[in-house]
């Protein structure tokens, strides 16, 4: 029996969100001067329980606003739950897009070191990985160019290469991917990036992957859950869950 | 068990400091990027301000303190460090909203990066001060004492910065309020003037930690006089107290930052 990497019991989360109340002119004037908006409570996660085992790749699907990102952020420790328990074993990494921490006014070399630090590597470790990152990105002629002079495709290449190589080096025990698989950009690099990502998630970490791309969920996940209004509507084989999601979406 | 906890604490602290240093270095580079004079501004800016205050403030106080230029410059750069670091701290978390929502990056490192950044520039200002010390034939040996004083000053400023960074998430107006408060504190602290004989002003100054830090630094470095044991103990005690208070407030509220920014 493989060990549990993530254990979630009766998880609850609510947010105070702003909304427009039907109120009089005076009340509206007061709130516009004070800058404070009227808020109401919104339950985003409502009593979710599941486990993820070591080496398992679990997919999460659901409509926008169903609670996918919030769930991942709670597991990552970015948000605090309002109820229930989250237990994780080992080092957790949450990834939502690439290029977080990139500074456009710095050179590619400086940015690789900066992103390495953000991902928990020291400068010696980044130095070891540096050539590999540059080679994978295909941007060896631009090492000393400032990133604001890059095209958006070049930024994607740099961000993906640096992130994936640094993460690969630090070997997280739990990997949470929020709408992240592949890199975007041109076809050549996208294929290379998807291949790298697939290699990466099959290395033995427990992976939770939230995505609207159903092909990716079907191809790479061992199991999937369907989230609906902050609750698990169905849990099981990715093919069956995807069919259920399609049926409910019609 | 306790050893394990201590070792984890040290490892985590090292990671936070390292990340804070990397952010600070990046911000330092970005700040100087594209500037014609670059790092020279760190020398020119305090020097220009010093000359202005020397002329204006000197006229008010009639330069009555011995070694008045040294007295003024040391007060000026210590207060600059305080105001720059703490003002930046009020926005340290909110200005990095994107980063803390998308990665589990340590929130402490965002505050520490601001502190490191102004420690870099403060060291450059200290070089000018050292130049003045040589010019005015001050004791270079006494200058060494600045390092332990500055160490405790950093602890004190860090404590305030952590408190402000946490409060800044909950109060959008904090940076404006803090700027006004700092202006008031600037006039209440004897930086360009000598402590007047007014009992009321003296009482206010005794409650002002900035007065104590600047006064201790001036006494030791410029005038070669060792302040009393009580004053020194107060400096050490309050530095550590503010640091722990700041860290514990920050720790208590940091788990809510990502959903509030």
What is the tens place of the pLDDT at every residue in A109-157? 999 999 999 888 888 999 999 999 999 999 999 999 999 999 988 998 9
Label residues B133-155 b or e (16+ Cβ within 10 Å = b): beeeebeeebbebbeebbebbbb
Q: Tell me the shortest Cα–Cα distance from A149 to chain B, in angstroms.
A: 14
Q: Whose structure tokens read 């509220």? A: B253
pLDDT of residue B143: 85
pLDDT of residue A250: 74
Half-sphere exposure of B178 toward its Cβ, with a 13 Å CA cutoff?
22
pLDDT of residue A131: 94
Report the relative pairing of strands A174-178 and A39-53 from DSSP bridges: unpaired
CA B135, B140, B144, B145 torsion-angle sign: negative
**pLDDT tens digits for range B142-161:** 888 899 999 999 999 999 99
Chain B residues with CB inside 8 Å of A114's CB? 22-23, 26
Chain A residues with CB inside 8 Å of B104's CB? 76-78, 92-94
Euclidean distance between CA atoms B125 and A247, whole angstroms: 68
pLDDT of residue A22: 67
Neighbours of B6 (CB within 10 A): 10
Indicate the residue of A93, A101, A120 with minimum beta-carbon distance to B99: A101
Chain B residues with CB inside 8 Å of A15's CB? 259
Indicate the residue of A100, A105, A117 with minimum beta-carbon distance to B19: A117
Long-range pairs of B170-177 with CB within 8 A, sequence gap ≥ 24: B170/B253, B170/B260, B172/A35, B172/B94, B174/B90, B175/B87, B175/B90, B175/B91
pLDDT of residue A35: 64
Euclidean distance between CA atoms B239 and B245, whole angstroms: 10
Contact flag B258-A118 (C-beta cutoff 8 Å): no
Contact flag A80-B104 (C-beta cutoff 8 Å): no
Euclidean distance between CA atoms B32 and B253, whole angstroms: 34
Euclidean distance between CA atoms A134 and A113, whole angstroms: 12
Contact flag A118-B30 (C-beta cutoff 8 Å): no
Half-sphere exposure of B155 toward its Cβ, with a 13 Å CA cutoff?
17
pTM of the full structure? 0.86
| Residue in B with minimal Cα distance to A105 | B30
Q: Is the pLDDT of residue A171 over 90?
A: no
β-bridge partners, A51:
A7
**pLDDT tens digits for range B97-129:** 988 988 888 999 999 999 999 999 899 899 889
β-bridge partners, A12:
A46, A83
Q: Which residue has the higher pLDDT, A18 or B72?
A: B72
Q: Closest Cα partner for A106 from B116, B28, B15, B42?
A: B28
Q: Is the pLDDT of residue B57 over 70?
A: no
B contact test, residue of A100, A109, A162 with most B CBs within 10 A? A100
Chain B residues with CB inside 8 Å of A122's CB? 18
Helix H or strand E encompassing B80: helix B68-89
Output Rg (C-alpha) for chain B, integer angstroms: 19
Q: How far is CA A212 from CA A68, B13, B73, in A?
A: 10, 38, 60
**Is residue B211 within 8 Å of residue B190, measured between CB atoms?**
yes
Q: Whose structure tokens read 């989230």? A: A227
Q: How far is CA A216 from CA A176, A179, A194, A198, A208, in A?
A: 15, 10, 10, 10, 12
Chain B residues with CB inside 8 Å of A97's CB? 102
Q: Where are the alpha helices (DSSP H) in B90-198?
A: 97-102, 107-135, 140-143, 146-170, 174-188
Q: Which residue has the higher pLDDT, A183 or B2?
A: B2
**pLDDT tens digits for range B161-201:** 999 999 999 998 899 999 999 999 998 898 888 887 778 87
Q: Is the pLDDT of residue A193 over 90?
A: no
DSSP code at position B256: G
Q: Write the ipTM.
A: 0.79
Q: Is the pLDDT of residue A214 over 90?
A: yes
Phi-psi region at A168: left, alpha or beta (left = phi > 0; alpha = psi -120 to 50): alpha
Contact flag A95-B100 (C-beta cutoff 8 Å): no
Long-range pairs of B239-244 with CB within 8 A, sequence gap ≥ 24: B239/B152, B239/B153, B239/B155, B239/B156, B239/B159, B240/B155, B241/B159, B242/B155, B242/B156, B242/B158, B242/B159, B242/B160, B242/B209, B243/B155, B243/B156, B243/B158, B243/B159, B243/B162, B244/B159
Q: Closest Cα partner for A6 from A220, A236, A208, A167?
A: A208
Q: Which residues contact B228 (CB under 8 A, 6 or more apart)?
A: none
Output Rg (C-alpha) for chain A, integer angstroms: 21
- Among A29-43, A89-103, B53-67, B174-188, the range with the most confident prediction by mean pLDDT is B174-188
Contact flag A101-B259 (C-beta cutoff 8 Å): no
**pLDDT tens digits for range A48-84:** 999 999 999 999 999 998 999 999 999 999 999 999 9
CA A28, A30, A36, A38 torsion-angle sign: negative
Q: Tell me the shortest Cα–Cα distance from A250 to chain B, in angstroms.
A: 32
């Amino acid at each position: 029996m493989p060990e549990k990497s993530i254990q979630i019991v009766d998880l609850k989360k609510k947010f105070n969100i702003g909304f427009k109340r039907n109120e009089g002119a005076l009340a509206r004037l007061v709130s516009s001067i004070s800058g404070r908006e009227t808020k109401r409570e919104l339950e985003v996660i409502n009593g979710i329980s599941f486990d993820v085992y070591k080496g398992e790749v679990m997919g999460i699907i659901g409509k926008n606003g169903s609670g996918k990102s919030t769930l991942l952020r709670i597991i990552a420790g970015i948000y605090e739950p309002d109820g229930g328990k989250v237990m994780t074993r080992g080092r957790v990494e949450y990834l939502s897009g690439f290029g977080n921490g990139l500074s456009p006014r710095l050179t590619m070399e400086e940015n690789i070191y900066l992103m390495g630090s953000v991902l928990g590597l020291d400068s010696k470790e980044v130095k070891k990985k540096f050539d590999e990152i540059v080679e994978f990105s295909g941007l060896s002629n631009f090492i000393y160019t400032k990133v604001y002079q890059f095209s958006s495709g070049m930024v994607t290449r740099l961000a993906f290469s640096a992130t994936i190589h640094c993460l690969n080096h630090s070997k997280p025990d739990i990997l949470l991917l929020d709408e992240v698989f592949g890199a975007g950009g041109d076809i050549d690099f996208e294929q290379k990036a998807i291949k790298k990502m697939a290699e990466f998630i099959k290395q033995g970490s427990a992976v939770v992957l939230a995505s609207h791309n159903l092909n990716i969920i079907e191809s790479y996940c061992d199991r999937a859950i369907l989230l609906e209004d902050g609750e698990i509507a169905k849990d099981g084989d990715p093919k069956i869950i995807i069919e259920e999601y399609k049926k409910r979406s019609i | 068990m306790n050893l394990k906890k201590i070792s984890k604490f040290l490892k985590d602290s090292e990671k936070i400091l390292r990340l804070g240093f990397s952010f600070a270095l990046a911000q330092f580079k970005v700040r100087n990027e594209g500037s014609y004079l670059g790092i020279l501004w760190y020398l020119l800016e305090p020097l220009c301000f010093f000359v202005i205050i020397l002329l204006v403030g000197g006229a008010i106080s009639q330069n009555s303190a011995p070694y008045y230029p040294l007295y003024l410059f040391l007060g000026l750069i210590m207060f600059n460090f305080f105001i720059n670091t703490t003002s930046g701290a009020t926005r340290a978390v909110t200005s990095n909203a994107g980063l803390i929502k998308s990665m589990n990056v340590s929130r402490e490192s965002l505050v520490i990066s601001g502190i490191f950044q102004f420690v870099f520039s403060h060291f450059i200002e200290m070089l000018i001060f050292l130049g003045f010390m040589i010019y005015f034939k001050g004791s270079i040996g006494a200058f060494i004492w600045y390092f332990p004083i500055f160490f405790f000053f950093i602890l004190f400023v860090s404590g305030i910065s952590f408190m402000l960074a946490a409060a800044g998430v909950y109060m959008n107006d904090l940076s404006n309020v803090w700027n006004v408060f700092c202006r008031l504190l600037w006039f209440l602290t004897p930086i360009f003037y000598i402590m007047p004989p007014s009992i009321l002003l003296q009482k206010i100054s005794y409650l002002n930690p900035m007065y104590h830090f600047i006064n201790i630094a001036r006494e030791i470095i410029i005038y070669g006089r060792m302040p009393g044991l009580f004053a020194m103990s107060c400096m050490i005690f309050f530095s550590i107290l503010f640091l722990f208070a700041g860290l514990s407030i920050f720790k208590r509220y940091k788990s809510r930052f990502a959903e509030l920014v």
